[in-house]
């Protein structure tokens, strides 16, 4: 668009969507907050569905493309983007993202609101800079980004810049996956993930479908699981089945984890690091109301929120016992458990499409620290595994330090345990899905975002040697 056609009005009301997006991005930038949690709190019934969708699109898009947006900002202002005040930086990221990636948004609206947001943030002196930069960005929005990238950059650096990822992550993925799979992963990480729901009670699936139809929600069956529903259009949160807890938002790979544990009726279950509780619901339902089910998490605040979810009539998990504790230390239980889930806190590199800010928070040294914590979690959990019990260790990470290396170290420290091949109940799989395609050569469950169109998960089964 020609810059003369991008005019900025003065003292115009700001779109509610852009106000929410600006505030959320500023908190992510300055408070190390997580975008999904902020949006969940802000996007309530008072916010229209249209504004909620645009706010989410701007926040997640600006975070996914942050490195590339900062590269363009530096090109326009002649210095590093980091030298700008956070409010100015956020306004510019938002504006450039909209003019380059959201074709349906008029450039004048993106520019005007970005300038007004700067004034609202009491950075009025930067308004002319924001206006000038965004008007120039609008004129170049159709030009391929490769035109602006130096040919002298190393191949990994170029890939990382063009696809807006940290170079160190791209380098390790190139070494492990090769170029084709790495590019596919980068592209998947930069696309909005599917909105997937889990139907907690398979026998109630038809009623769930009728409820979605009544609410004019457009959907299709899951790609991996019969119990999954992929939402294409509409607001699920307004349906009775969602309000009652009969369905929850949960990625298909995440839905698969409780199935791998193979809980039988009446068995005792320990779910470590359980919040926000999606997997706990499935485990509690499988064990039944008379079984001992214990869920733990480090933060009492997360358990409080989880407790409210599990109380919903459709959750079927009101019998879960919740305990706040640090599971990297000895566990205060006398009992041994038939089934234990260690869904370990991890880097989350398998969820970068869903949680884009992780790529900017994560550092190489974090993988070492996470590995150490994960080994500790697994060590103390195994002490409470019954003689013929099963433990499932899982992460939403693609990194070997957090996955196979943890299992390998634990088995070296405790040779009385063995790794067993994960088994997926075939009745749970969607038509045409073969279980063996999700199990690697070592017997571990593994999903890769470009291949399965899910989050990237790893899970390994451990049992005592008999």
Q: In the 8-state DSSP scheme, what is residue 88?
A: H
Q: In the 8-state DSSP scheme, what is residue 429?
A: B
Strands (E), 265-336: 269-272, 293-297, 321-324
Closest CA relative to residue 163, chosen from 57, 71, 94, 90: 71
Q: Give CA separation, 215 vs 210, 219, 355, in Å.
A: 9, 11, 28
Query: Is 422 within 8 Å of 407 (Cβ atoms)?
Result: no
Question: Omega into 276 within 30° of 0, i.e. cis?
Answer: yes
Instruction: Say which residue the tokens 């479908």 belong to.
Output: 209
Query: Buried b / exposed e across 341-376, counting CB within 10 Å, b at 16+?
Result: bbbbbbbbbbbbbbbbbbbeebeeeebeebbebbbe
Task: Give the helix/strand (H/E) hosting 153.
Answer: none
Closest CA relative to residue 59, chosen from 391, 324, 357, 336: 357
Give the CA count within 13 Å in the CB-facing half-sphere of 43.
23
Told to judge if 396 belongs to the known catalytic residues of this protein, a careful annotator would answer yes
Pairing of β 195-199 and β 228-233: antiparallel
Question: Which candidate in 197, 273, 346, 396 is catalytic?
Answer: 396
Residues annotated catalytic, as ranges: 396
């Amino acid at each position: 668009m020609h810059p003369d056609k991008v005019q900025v009005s003065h003292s115009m009301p700001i779109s509610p969507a852009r106000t929410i997006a600006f505030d959320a991005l500023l908190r992510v930038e300055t408070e190390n907050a997580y975008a999904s949690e902020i949006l969940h709190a802000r996007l309530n019934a008072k916010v229209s569905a249209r504004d909620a969708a645009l706010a989410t699109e701007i926040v997640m898009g600006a975070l996914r493309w942050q490195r590339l947006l900062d590269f363009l900002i530096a090109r326009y202002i002649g210095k590093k983007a980091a030298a700008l005040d956070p409010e100015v930086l956020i306004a510019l990221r938002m504006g450039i993202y909209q003019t380059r990636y959201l074709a349906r948004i008029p450039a004048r609206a993106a520019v005007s609101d970005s300038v007004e947001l700067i004034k609202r943030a009491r950075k009025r002196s930067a308004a002319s800079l924001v206006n000038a930069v965004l008007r120039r960005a609008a004129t170049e929005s159709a030009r391929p980004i490769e035109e602006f990238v130096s040919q002298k950059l190393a191949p990994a650096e170029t890939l990382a810049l063009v696809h807006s990822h940290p170079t160190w992550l791209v380098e390790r993925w190139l070494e492990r996956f090769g170029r084709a799979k790495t590019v596919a992963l980068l592209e998947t990480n930069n696309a909005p993930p599917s909105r997937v729901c889990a139907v907690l009670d398979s026998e109630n699936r038809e009623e769930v479908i009728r409820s979605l139809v009544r609410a004019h929600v457009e959907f299709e069956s899951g790609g991996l699981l019969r119990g999954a529903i992929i939402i294409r259009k509409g607001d699920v949160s307004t349906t009775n089945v969602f309000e009652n807890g009969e369905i929850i938002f949960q990625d298909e790979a995440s839905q698969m984890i409780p199935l791998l544990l193979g809980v039988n009726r009446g068995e005792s279950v320990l779910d470590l690091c359980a919040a926000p509780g999606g997997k706990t619901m499935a485990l509690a339902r499988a064990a039944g109301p008379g079984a001992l089910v214990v869920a733990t998490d480090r933060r009492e605040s997360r358990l409080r929120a989880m407790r409210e979810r599990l109380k919903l009539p459709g959750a079927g998990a009101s019998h879960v016992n919740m305990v706040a504790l640090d599971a990297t230390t000895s566990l205060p239980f006398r009992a041994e458990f038939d089934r234990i889930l260690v869904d370990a806190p991890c880097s989350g590199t398998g969820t970068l499409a869903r949680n884009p800010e992780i790529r900017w928070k994560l550092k190489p040294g974090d993988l070492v620290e996470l590995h150490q914590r994960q080994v500790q979690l697994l060590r103390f959990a195994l002490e409470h595994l019954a003689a013929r019990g099963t433990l499932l260790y899982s992460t939403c990470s693609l990194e070997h330090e957090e996955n196979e290396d943890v299992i390998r170290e634990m088995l070296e420290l405790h040779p009385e345990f063995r790794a067993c091949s994960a088994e997926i109940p075939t009745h749970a799989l969607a038509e045409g899905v073969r279980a063996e395609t999700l199990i690697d050569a070592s017997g571990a469950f593994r999903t890769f975002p470009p291949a399965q169109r899910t989050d990237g998960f790893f899970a390994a089964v451990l049992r005592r040697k008999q």
